[in-house]
Structure 1
Amino acid sequence: MVAELGQFVLVLALITAICQGVLPLVGAHYQNMALMKLADNASFVQFAALTGAFICLTIGYVTSDFSILNVASNSHSLKPLLYKISGVWGNHEGSLLLWVWILALFGFAVALFGRNLPDSLKARVLAIQGLIGVGFLLFVLFTSNPFERLSPAPFDGNGLNPLLQDPGLAFHPPFLYLGYVGLSVTFSFAIAALIEGKVDPAWARWVRPWTLAAWAFLTIGIALGSWWAYYELGWGGWWFWDPVENASFMPWLAATALLHSAIVVEKRDTLKNWTILLAIIAFSLSLLGTFLVRSGVLNSVHAFASDPARGVFILMFLIFVIGGSLVLYAVRAPAMKGGGLFAPISREGALVLNNLLLSTAAATVLLGTLYPIFLDAFTGEKVSVGPPYFNATFLPLAVPLVIAMAFGPFLPWKRADLGSALSRLKFALFAALIVLGLTWWLQTDGPLLAMVGMGLFAWLLIGSLIEWTDRIKLFRAPLSSSWRRMVNLPRSAHGMTVAHIGVALVVLGITASEAWQSERLGIMKPGETVIVGGYDFRFEGAEQITGPNYNALRGTFTASSGSGAGYQMFPEQRVYTDPPMMTTEAAIRPMLTADLYVVIGDEDGTGGYATRIYHKPFISWIWLGCLTMFFGGFLSLSDRRLRLGAPKKRQLEIKGEKAPNQI
């Protein structure tokens, strides 16, 4: 019964999405208020229907209803409850249902929080959201139905992919989809603006909160996926430039550019066409990621499906959405002229440079991701584009981007003096040179890029802190005055500083872990000790253990540095039976300065075991930095959500002081 109910509400959601996608557009064209208001109610009904469908599928998983094909294919009665629930979206059909549910969630959120939007713009935005929902609901119902029955029902299910039976993968897809699908709102705003032929600072203020939300969720989603790959796959790395990793990274780059471009539209009423194009590109790249994961054109541990029919459907939808939006852009964009002029050395100029570097970076990643696919399709030749290409093309763009991040906030709008900004950043430059020199002194054999990376970390960290202290006039005014300025400073300003500090921490983690990692791969017998990264790793032995739904070989290692008690570490090699698969569970000892990382493999037949031991300096700072960026994004969002309407002048209760610059 639960499957039939889920199927019914899915059909109801499709009918509602069609009404939401068509009638409000007609109402906005003819200024029919009743039809325009229908968009709000339709978005609520669609969200409620898809919530019901998602609950029905979840009930099927929790109760192990193996008469549902999707449950039988991806669950098992012995699975822990957490993985029964995460199994709902740990497969192609269920993840698509999660996608359309989040799409409806964002549509409902626009209807709920967009009370200050003009009626015609709001109706068009919700209509575009509805049309996107129509495409995905058709895909779900006709090619990827999660409620398809299986008769006769098996006694038990096949089980979820063991690689996905992990807490990191339980939370990674929802956050990632919140980012992917959140970009649909910015896309809908862009298409609605093209239809109306109007982009102004108010439009940019309405777009920025949705861009911030999508960017923040995408940041934490990518970080969770990277963290999972680090500790679950057992290869010791955190990023491999896998095509599906790239598919999430490209819309993040585009969303970052869009976020900064919208600032220029809001503050200076310029870069309108470019901002609209970025909104289209960002969502198009998220759709491209959907195509790559579900079309079968590539093999990846992240890929969901390999059904060509599904791939053709997504490709047609992709062409329709991207092609249609670009045609509309080509027709309508020339009529929207930018406003204010600005000098190359200015806040606007710095943000334009930011956009150029981010867009070029996204283009290089896109080329490296799609080139093997196109070459295979047209010539049959198999090639692999791996880390050497991406490192050689992406890093030269990342270096000036980090340098510009510290400069930009010091530059005033319209026209600026570069010398003045440099003088205010002299302490950041001094700190960067000191850190670079210390790195060279302590690591004389270290690579040049590592020294540059450490210098960039100090430059951006200190530069961001200087900019923040400059806003509140710390040490240049009485502490009470600085405190009042800090309290009255917009949260978006605090959020920008926090997010930039997060980027600095990521730079530190990437640089140190990649440049100065120590490793030892080889056979070890019980009682043997090896030294890696200044730590003694003693192999105590291995034993067979039994888990909830797996058997495992567990090793025991003692890691000590000679200055205290040792750390017990227990890496495992697990063997699952439903479905049959072997996985590696690394033992990790995270610390502020380094991670200790141990993996155990097969026995060699003589009492020894294959082992991999790593010492990874500062690698945890990569994810700490991502969390900091996420927090910075939502700190900014907490300010912007209260300012969706017409801007209001801030009044500081500080005698004789002007309000600090806002960004």
Structure 2
Amino acid sequence: MIPELGHLAMILALCMAIIQGTLPLIGAWRGDRLWMGLAQPAAWGQFAFLLFAFACLAQAFLADDFSVTYVAANSNSALPWYYKLSAVWGSHEGSLLLWALILGGWTFAVSVLSRQLPEDMLARVLGVMGLISIGFLAFLIVTSNPFERLLPQAPADGRDLNPLLQDFGLVVHPPMLYMGYVGFSVAFAFAIAALLGGRLDAAWARWSRPWTLVAWTFLGIGIVLGSWWAYYELGWGGWWFWDPVENASLMPWLVGTALLHSLAVTEKRGLFKSWTVLLAIAAFSLSLLGTFLVRSGVLTSVHAFATDPERGVFILAFLLLVVGGSLTLFALRAPVVKSRIGFALRSRESLLLVNNLILVVATATILLGTLYPLLLDALSGTKLSVGPPYFNTLFLPLMALLMFTLAVGVLLRWKDTPLQWLLGMLIPVLLASVALGMLASLWFDDFYWSVLAVSLLAAWVILAGLRDLLGKIRHKSVLQGLRSLTPSYWGMQLAHAGVAICALGIVLSTQQNVERDLRMAPGDVLELSGYRFGFEGTTHAEGPNYVSDKASIRVSKEEGSEVAVLHPEKRLYLVQRMPMTEAGIDAGLTRDLYVALGEPLENGAWAVRVHIKPFVRWIWLGGLLMACGGALAASDQRYRVKVKTGVRAALGMSNRGVQA
């Protein structure tokens, strides 16, 4: 009975979405306040029904209701309860319901927290989000119903959750990623609503910016969690593989980064209006593209959910409708709202434009490398693999250029910057960066130009941020000066420092990585880069739904002091008969010791892979600093104005924007 109630709740949520996506938009067009007022209660009703439907599916998993097809295919009675809960979004149907629920949650949040918006603007924003919900809910109900029954021959037990997904990282990674993906729908809705109302101005950018910051933050956290999961769960010692589905999450994050900077220019100077709208459309379109890649069956990946081409056709049609419709509206309205204000070459605006172009070109290179093999296969049947050499050759130089311009842009002023003043700020930073870069590269035994370059660029970014900070507080006491700076400014500084730290982690862990693949029997010792790895043998262990061979590897310094005892495992999941590797890791701020078991050999010996990965934790530390910077910037008080003040300011700025 509960699954049927969940199915009914999805249908009622679709009815609410149809009301939300049609009547408020018609009301805004006709100036009908009654119809515009339907947007908020419809959004609340849709979210409530989706929350109930999700709870029904979760209850089916926790109660081991194997008469539900989706539960039987993705759970097992021996599965721990927390993996049963994460199995709700562990495959296609449930993940799509989670997506729809998060979209309903974002819509609910906008309806509650954006009441300072003019009534017609809020109606348009919620109406556009309702239209998006219609597409996803129709897809969910028609092609991907998670409540479909297996009656009358219900199995006694389930097929179990994919062992790759039985991990804490996959409990939290998908919800974070979806919060980011779906969050860009808010920026998209604001952009489309602004085009429909002809109100593309600084007020629109101020309304949209905090929502974009929060979505960008969640997506960044999701990517970091996915990278961390790939590092320790797949047993290869890697953290990024340029997998098409990994690329699908990186592309909207890059465009979202460009969007944040473009929104800042639109808010501060009234520039880049049309460009900002295009970026908002692109960020959400790339999120939909990621949905298509994961659920269409066009690629094979550990991240992919579905292999049914019919579902892929539905999503592709929806993607083309969203992208085509929004670009058509943009083409019709852009001449009315384009910027007519100029800017100087030596200004923050110009460097932010360069920043945007670099990010867009980087996204285009990833998009080409991801889609070209799929298109070539579809058109000619030719199989082509585009791997890390392509992406590293094109993407990494663009990121180096981005880091260079990032530091210059921080020190530039709005409107115009005197050349002599700028050189006086940059030259000391440059000299100090060169010195620190040289020292850092000499610290390692082997010299690499890439290590020198990334050390110099990281110092360049961080020292430029410190120079700007000192310039802002130089006429005040230190405490007073620091207190006078806004959360938005501190968020920028934190995010830029995160970029530098992440870049250091990427290059150092890649260039300075040491690894060995060898046969080890009990009593064997490997000496590697100042560490001794002693293999003490394996013991048999049993988990709730698997059996494993767990090794003990004692690690010590060459002089004899013990560092850690690592316990890599080779597991066999009993239902699916699928082997999995669980790496043994001793984590540290400056290095990771990483050991993974391969296949068992004769006489108690095993194939063993040993890595020493310097500074690999800095990759995720930098990513988390960027996410914290986004969250801090979104908390800025100026985004939370009183209702009456916000309406007066928005309407006033709107009138000035139309006149401009």
TM-score, normalization by structure 1: 0.95
- 1:358-373 alignment runs, 5 A limit: 358-373=359-374
Contact 1:454 1:508 in 2 (8 A): yes
CA distance 1:448–1:491, change in 2 (3 Å)? same
Q: Deviations over 1:430-461 (max 9, x none)?
A: 33212321244344643212210111111112
Q: Deviations over 1:44-69 (max 9, x none)?
A: 00000100001110111111111111
Q: What residue number does 1:432 align with?
A: 433
Q: How many residues align?
A: 643
Is residue 632 of structure 1 aligned with residue 620 of structure 2? no
Q: What residue number does 2:640 align with?
A: 642
Is residue 581 of structure 1 aligned with residue 578 of structure 2? yes
Shift of 1:578: 2.1
Shift of 1:198: 2.1
Shift of 1:563: 6.3
Where structure 2 has 5 or more consecutive residues not aligned to the other structure, the ranges are: 648-660
Is residue 596 of structure 1 aligned with residue 593 of structure 2? yes
Task: Give, in whole Å, the separation in 1 of the partners of 2:147 and 2:86.
Answer: 17
Q: What residue number does 1:40 align with?
A: 40
Task: Give, in whole Å, the separation in 2 of the partners of 1:422 and 1:513.
Answer: 34
Task: Give, in whole Å, the separation in 1 of the partners of 2:350 and 2:473.
Answer: 25
Shift of 1:421: 2.8
Is residue 251 of structure 1 aligned with residue 252 of structure 2? yes
Q: Deviations over 1:594-637 (max 9, x none)?
A: 00000011122243210000000000011111111111111111
Task: Give, in whole Å, the separation in 1 of the partners of 2:337 and 2:635.
Answer: 31
Is residue 612 of structure 1 aligned with residue 612 of structure 2? no
Q: Counterpart amino acid of 2:129?
A: Q
Contact 1:532 1:614 in 2 (8 A): no
What secondary structure, in the 3-state scheme, does the structure 1 residue paired with 2:13 have?
helix
Q: What residue number does 1:486 align with?
A: 482
Q: Out of 469, 479, 500, which is 2:496 matched to?
A: 500
Q: What residue number does 1:464 align with?
A: 465
What secondary structure, in the 3-state scheme, does the structure 2 residue paired with 1:88 have?
helix
Task: Give, in whole Å, the separation in 1 of the partners of 2:641 and 2:408.
Answer: 27
Q: Counterpart amino acid of 1:289?
A: G
Contact 1:428 1:460 in 2 (8 A): no
Which shows bigger deviation, 288-297 or 537-546? 537-546
Task: Give, in whole Å, the separation in 1 of the partners of 2:590 and 2:642.
Answer: 42
Q: Counterpart amino acid of 2:278?
A: L
Q: What residue number does 2:652 align with?
A: none
What secondary structure, in the 3-state scheme, does the structure 1 residue paired with 2:562 have?
coil
- 1:437-456 alignment runs, 5 A limit: 437-443=438-444, 445-456=446-457
Q: What residue number does 2:237 align with?
A: 236
Contact 2:441 2:451 in 1 (8 A): no
Q: Out of 544, 549, 555, which is 1:548 matched to?
A: 544
Which shows bigger deviation, 481-490 or 306-315? 481-490
Q: What residue number does 2:168 align with?
A: 167
Q: What residue number does 2:658 align with?
A: none
Contact 1:268 1:339 in 2 (8 A): no
Q: Deviations over 1:149-198 (max 9, x none)?
A: 11121111111000000000000000000000000001111111111122
Contact 2:272 2:339 in 1 (8 A): yes
Q: Counterpart amino acid of 2:595?
A: V
Q: Deviations over 1:572-600 (max 9, x none)?
A: 01110222211110011110110000001
Task: Give, in whole Å, the separation in 2 of the partners of 1:337 and 1:248.
Answer: 30
Q: What residue number does 2:146 align with?
A: 146
Q: Deviations over 1:450-502 (max 9, x none)?
A: 210111111112222222232222xx54xxx3312322321101111111111
Q: What residue number does 1:374 align with?
A: 375
Q: What residue number does 2:264 align with?
A: 263
Q: What residue number does 2:357 align with?
A: 356
Task: Give, in whole Å, the separation in 2 of the partners of 1:158 and 1:483.
Answer: 61
Task: Give, in whole Å, the separation in 2 of the partners of 1:422 and 1:449.
Answer: 26
What secondary structure, in the 3-state scheme, does the structure 1 residue paired with 2:550 have?
strand
Q: Deviations over 1:119-167 (max 9, x none)?
A: 1111001000000000000000010001111112111111100000000
Task: Give, in whole Å, the separation in 2 of the partners of 1:563 and 1:125.
Answer: 65
Q: Counterpart amino acid of 2:614?
A: P
Shift of 1:427: 4.2
Q: What residue number does 2:568 align with?
A: 571
Contact 1:176 1:218 in 2 (8 A): yes
What secondary structure, in the 3-state scheme, does the structure 2 residue paired with 1:215 have?
helix
- 1:496-535 alignment runs, 5 A limit: 496-535=492-531
Q: What residue number does 1:403 align with?
A: 404
Q: Counterpart amino acid of 1:145?
A: N
Q: What residue number does 2:534 align with?
A: 538
Contact 1:205 1:644 in 2 (8 A): no
Which shows bigger deviation, 637-646 or 458-467? 637-646
Q: What residue number does 2:657 align with?
A: none
Task: Give, in whole Å, the separation in 1 of the partners of 2:521 and 2:25.
Answer: 72
Task: Give, in whole Å, the separation in 2 of the partners of 1:329 and 1:587.
Answer: 53
TM-score, normalization by structure 2: 0.95
Task: Give, in whole Å, the separation in 2 of the partners of 1:40 and 1:370.
Answer: 39
Which shows bigger deviation, 72-81 or 537-546? 537-546
Task: Give, in whole Å, the separation in 1 of the partners of 2:132 and 2:86.
Answer: 25
Task: Give, in whole Å, the separation in 1 of the partners of 2:157 and 2:141.
Answer: 25
Q: What residue number does 1:189 align with?
A: 190
Contact 1:517 1:617 in 2 (8 A): yes
Q: What residue number does 2:18 align with?
A: 18
Shift of 1:644: 8.4
Shift of 1:539: 0.9
Is residue 3 of structure 1 aligned with residue 7 of structure 2? no
CA distance 1:418–1:56, change in 2 (3 Å)? farther
- 1:269-308 alignment runs, 5 A limit: 269-308=270-309
CA distance 1:269–1:459, change in 2 (3 Å)? same
Task: Give, in whole Å, the separation in 2 of the partners of 1:55 and 1:451.
Answer: 53
Q: Counterpart amino acid of 2:485?
A: L
Task: Give, in whole Å, the separation in 1 of the partners of 2:526 and 2:464.
Answer: 42
CA distance 1:158–1:403, change in 2 (3 Å)? same
Task: Give, in whole Å, the separation in 1 of the partners of 2:391 and 2:415.
Answer: 35
Shift of 1:418: 4.4
Contact 1:516 1:616 in 2 (8 A): yes
Shift of 1:405: 1.3
Q: Counterpart amino acid of 1:505?
A: I
Q: What residue number does 1:71 align with?
A: 71
Q: What residue number does 2:653 align with?
A: none
Q: Counterpart amino acid of 2:6?
A: G
CA distance 1:644–1:413, change in 2 (3 Å)? farther
Contact 2:24 2:39 in 1 (8 A): yes
Task: Give, in whole Å, the separation in 2 of the partners of 1:428 and 1:301.
Answer: 44
Shift of 1:419: 4.3
Q: Counterpart amino acid of 1:259?
A: L
- The alignment-based identity, stated in percent, is 53
Shift of 1:416: 1.5
Shift of 1:392: 0.4
What secondary structure, in the 3-state scheme, does the structure 2 residue paired with 1:19 have?
helix
Q: What residue number does 1:651 align with?
A: none
Task: Give, in whole Å, the separation in 2 of the partners of 1:505 and 1:30.
Answer: 52
Which shows bigger deviation, 458-467 or 122-131? 458-467
Task: Give, in whole Å, the separation in 2 of the partners of 1:523 and 1:197.
Answer: 69
Q: Out of 619, 624, 645, which is 1:622 matched to?
A: 619
Contact 2:441 2:455 in 1 (8 A): no
CA distance 1:408–1:220, change in 2 (3 Å)? same
Q: Deviations over 1:269-289 (max 9, x none)?
A: 010000000000000000000
Shift of 1:533: 2.7
What secondary structure, in the 3-state scheme, does the structure 2 residue paired with 1:180 have?
helix
Q: Counterpart amino acid of 2:130?
A: G
Task: Give, in whole Å, the separation in 1 of the partners of 2:374 and 2:569.
Answer: 36
